Structure 1
Amino acid sequence: MRERRRLRMGVLALVSLVLLGAIPLYFGLRALSHDPVFDTLDELNVPGWAATEIVDNVSGSRWCLQECRLRERTVSSERAVKETTQAYERALAEDSWQPWKVSRCPQQQTKGDYTCWRRDELTLDLWVRERTCVPPPVDGEPAPTPLASPAAQECAGSLVSVKVRNAIDDERTRPQPSTDPSLTGEDPFPTLSEDPLGEPTPSPS
């Protein structure tokens, strides 16, 4: 009887240790696989029409090993670019994001509304633009020109892209080195001429 009791106590102790270790392991793996930045984006107070067809992508390392993490979210909006931009900018301001006036925002010329934001150790790029309308095929062949009615309704609205990066990995947070004119092949003290065409002034005869 004593041996059976000891065996039962040992089994109960083993099961308790397994459960106590499995629960923290489960929540730990769940935290590692889920990015809290996306939770922050989910909590933005944007209308339902401005947050449909959400697609999330993530790359890089959370601990900035070789490359810091980049979070990208693409969202479809049922309304135009201007109204969608206002909804997202209002929601970001309510969530303590600050407008970030910085050069290379955007990195290259783009269509639509492009703004940059900062909060704590994160930077955020918001790009709202018109959706690309692709008319449906006609009799199995691509339509030569956009159709006016059903296709136009399907393409109505706008497309939203959000990119969130760690500020330490965003090169726009670093001071840019000044360019020495002597290293660019340009004369730092050019000779100025009063003639706008640059032609030599004739000497008096």
Structure 2
Amino acid sequence: MPGAATSEAPDDDVEATGGGARSELRRKVREQRRLRMVALAVVTLVLLGAVPSYFGFRTLSRDPVFDTLDSLEVPGWAAVKTVDDVSGSRWCLLDCRLRERTVTSDRAPQETTQVYEDALRRDGWTPWKVQRCPEQQEKGSYSCWRRDELTLDLWVREPTCVPPPVDGEPAIVPSPEPSAAAVACSGSLVSVKVRNAIDDERTRPQPTTDPSLTGEDPFPTITEDPLGELTPSPS
């Protein structure tokens, strides 16, 4: 009947509309779920990469030579305060790396020198008897050491002390020689320099100045007229 057919049409439209809405809803849910999974994967990758990167950066920024110096078995009084400094390139680009450590000791230079030298020997360093150790004359005890591909300079001396302030103002030190009582202080100062052996000029053969090994001067000094008297050519 025509009337029956007409009455069923709206139900079909409603069913079709409802099915389309459910499909759209399921599609949006799937998209949201996919986005959450992607976000979770990104966060996981970032965390997994950040932790090794952090420790890797610390490893690159911290020179392992300082870790070696930290492992020296010296008593606490011999390493009261430590200051490290580094310059140059680890890969010897332009300048090789120079590691410098300054340490304050509570005891006298002689006792401090002994504990540091003993600690270096226990750690595998051997005394290095070489010219230009030190480069110039220094007060206190100065010695040089070698281990594997590294060289080390150890300098222990009395600290440079400044008189305490007077009435809140810096004390005036007499010139040229301050009195011992005015600047007396205890303890000692330790300086350690570590270089790559290939960059230490003292590991290379030094040129000799022995005249017997240089031979004659290939460019002798000419004191007379180099042309001399011209000999006339035959005509």
Please report the TM-score for the alignment, with normalisation by the length of structure 1: 0.81
Q: Distance in 2 between matches of 1:148 and 1:178?
A: 48
1:133 offset after TM fit, Å?
2.5
Q: Distance in 2 between matches of 1:134 and 1:6?
A: 71
Aligned amino acid, residue 56 of structure 1:
D
3-state SS in 2 of match to 1:58: strand
1:5 offset after TM fit, Å?
2.1
3-state SS in 2 of match to 1:56: strand
Residue 157 of structure 1, aligned match among 164, 182, 187? 187
Bigger mean CA offset, 172-181 vs 131-140? 131-140
Residue 157 of structure 2, aligned match among 126, 129, 152? 129
Q: Which has the higher helix share?
A: 2
- Aligned residue in 1 for 2:50: 22
1:62 offset after TM fit, Å?
0.7
1:143 offset after TM fit, Å?
4.6
1:170 offset after TM fit, Å?
0.4
Q: Distance in 2 between matches of 1:92 and 1:147?
A: 33
Q: Which runs of 5 or more structure 2 residues have no equivalent in the other structure?
A: 1-28, 215-235
1:47 offset after TM fit, Å?
0.7
1:182 offset after TM fit, Å?
6.9
Query: Do residues 148 (structure 1) and 176 (structure 2) align?
Result: no
Aligned amino acid, residue 103 of structure 2:
V
Q: Distance in 2 between matches of 1:111 and 1:21?
A: 52
Root mean square deviation, CA, Å: 2.0
Residue 110 of structure 1, aligned match among 132, 138, 156? 138
Q: Distance in 2 between matches of 1:19 and 1:146?
A: 63
Give identity over the alignment, percent. Answer: 75
3-state SS in 2 of match to 1:92: helix
Residue 98 of structure 2, aligned match among 48, 67, 70? 70
Residue 113 of structure 2, aligned match among 78, 85, 98? 85
Q: Which runs of 5 or more structure 1 residues have no equivalent in the other structure?
A: 185-205
Aligned amino acid, residue 40 of structure 1:
T
Which whole-Å deviations, capped at 9, do the CAs of 1:73-111 have from their partners, x for residues lacking one? 111111111111100000001111111111111111111
Residue 179 of structure 1, aligned match among 209, 220, 233? 209
Which whole-Å deviations, capped at 9, do the CAs of 1:128-158 have from their partners, x for residues lacking one? 1111222123343415454738x63xx2111
Mapped contact 1:100–1:116 kept (Cα < 8 A): yes
Q: Distance in 1 between matches of 2:164 and 2:109?
A: 23
Mapped contact 1:61–1:67 kept (Cα < 8 A): yes
Aligned amino acid, residue 106 of structure 1:
P
Q: Distance in 1 between matches of 2:96 and 2:196?
A: 7
Quick one: structure 1 residues 79 and 3, their matched pair in 2 at CA, closer, same or farther if it must change by over 3 Å? Answer: same
- Aligned residue in 1 for 2:228: none
- Name the larger-Rg structure: 2
